[in-house]
């Protein structure tokens, strides 16, 4: 069993969430199969996921998780790609960015407890992007175990948290600044009993950030995730963001307003630095 820490938060032990462009040990992926979420019994999605896994495996190892029903098929398809490991894992759907752990790391080699791990994971709660009222499906119990399973397999310390949060709803620059949206994190279908200040406090304690920049909304028409930040804006380097542009005239005004808001909020904001 891995070490589970409940009495202390990651930042107090020197952990912080690294930026996406920092070196990876590996990439974790889930294998899609839900016929109600994916068209044509997930066939096109599976073909796309396979291409992505193979492409990424040229640069870093991949662990591809598939259900019992799909394991043999996926294993045989990937057996000639030595940088891809196929693991059997039950799940409700394949969005590991949202259901998997938030990995955090630290530079020092031990804390007061003698734990020498440099990498740990935060195990948030997941409710299918909105629970029974607004979620994408009614049973997410297996998805809610994905983070725990990954951390057990990798033997990384686990920080469980009661807050509902998906990985796609946060984005960090690795130097103390976090981007998120009010539309998602303040949605009553996530954490209705927590205020904005309370949520921000938990982000700082668990992600190791000093500054949280709240954008009002995410991508226009994003009813599935209620405005995830990773659909609209991300850091490309410390202090620099890239914002998604409009794809159709219908969302032009909304996207333009959001970009103006981004510039007004982010440009005058000194970034946190380590």
Positive or negative CA dihedral for 77, 79, 82, 86? positive
Give pLDDT tens digits for 17-49. Answer: 999 999 999 999 999 999 999 999 999 999 999
Percent of the chain with pLDDT over 70: 86
| Averaged pLDDT, 45-55 | 99
Quote the pLDDT of residue 267.
Answer: 54
* Domains of the chain from N-terminus onward: 11-266 (3.75.10.10)
| Averaged pLDDT, 168-179 | 97
Question: Rounded to whole angstroms, how far apart are CA atoms 168 and 62?
Answer: 19
- Which residues 6+ apart lie within 8 Å of 154 measured at CB? 121
- The answer to whether residue 91 scores a pLDDT higher than 60 is yes
State the average pLDDT for the chain.
90
Q: How far is CA 187 from CA 1, 34, 178, 223, in A?
A: 35, 26, 18, 12
| Averaged pLDDT, 175-203 | 97
Q: Are 255 and 244 in contact (CB under 8 A)?
A: yes
Q: Which of 167-176, 202-211, 254-263 is the least confident region?
A: 254-263
Taking residue 25's Cβ as centre, other Cβ atoms within 10 Å add up to 9
Q: pTM (2 decimals)?
A: 0.89
Give pLDDT tens digits for 56-74. Answer: 999 999 999 999 999 999 9
Q: 155, exposed or middle or buried, with CB in 10 Å at 0-12, 13-18, 19+? A: exposed
DSSP state at residue 142: T
Q: How far is CA 160 from CA 14, 103, 120, 215, in A?
A: 17, 12, 11, 26
Question: Rounded to whole angstroms, how far apart are CA atoms 207 and 104?
Answer: 7
- Which residues 6+ apart lie within 8 Å of 88 measured at CB? 65, 66, 67, 68, 71
């Amino acid at each position: 069993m891995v070490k589970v820490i409940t009495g202390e938060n990651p930042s107090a032990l020197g952990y912080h969430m690294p930026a996406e462009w920092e070196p990876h040990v590996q990439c974790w992926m889930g294998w899609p199969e839900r016929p109600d979420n994916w068209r044509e019994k997930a066939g096109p999605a599976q073909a796309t996921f396979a291409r992505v896994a193979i492409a990424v495996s040229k640069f870093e190892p991949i662990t591809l998780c598939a259900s019992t029903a799909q394991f043999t098929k996926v294993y045989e398809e990937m057996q000639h790609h030595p940088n891809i490991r196929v693991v059997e894992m039950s799940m409700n759907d394949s969005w590991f960015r949202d259901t998997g752990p938030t990995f955090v790391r630290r530079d020092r080699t031990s804390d007061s407890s003698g734990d020498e791990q440099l990498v740990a994971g935060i195990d948030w709660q997941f409710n299918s992007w909105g629970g029974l009222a607004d979620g994408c499906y009614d049973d997410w119990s297996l998805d809610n175990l994905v983070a725990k399973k990954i951390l057990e397999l990798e033997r990384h310390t686990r920080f469980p948290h009661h807050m509902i949060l998906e990985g796609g709803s946060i984005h960090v620059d690795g130097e103390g600044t976090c981007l998120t949206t009010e539309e998602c994190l303040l949605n009553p279908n996530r954490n209705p009993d927590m205020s904005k200040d309370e949520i921000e406090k938990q982000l700082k304690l668990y992600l190791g950030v000093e500054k949280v920049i709240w954008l009002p909304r995410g991508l226009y028409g994003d009813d599935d995730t209620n405005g995830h930040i990773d659909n609209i804006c991300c850091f490309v380097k410390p202090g620099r963001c890239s914002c998604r542009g409009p794809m159709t005239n219908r969302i032009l005004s909304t996207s333009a307003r959001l970009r103006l808001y981004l510039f007004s909020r982010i440009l005058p904001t000194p970034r946190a630095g380590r």
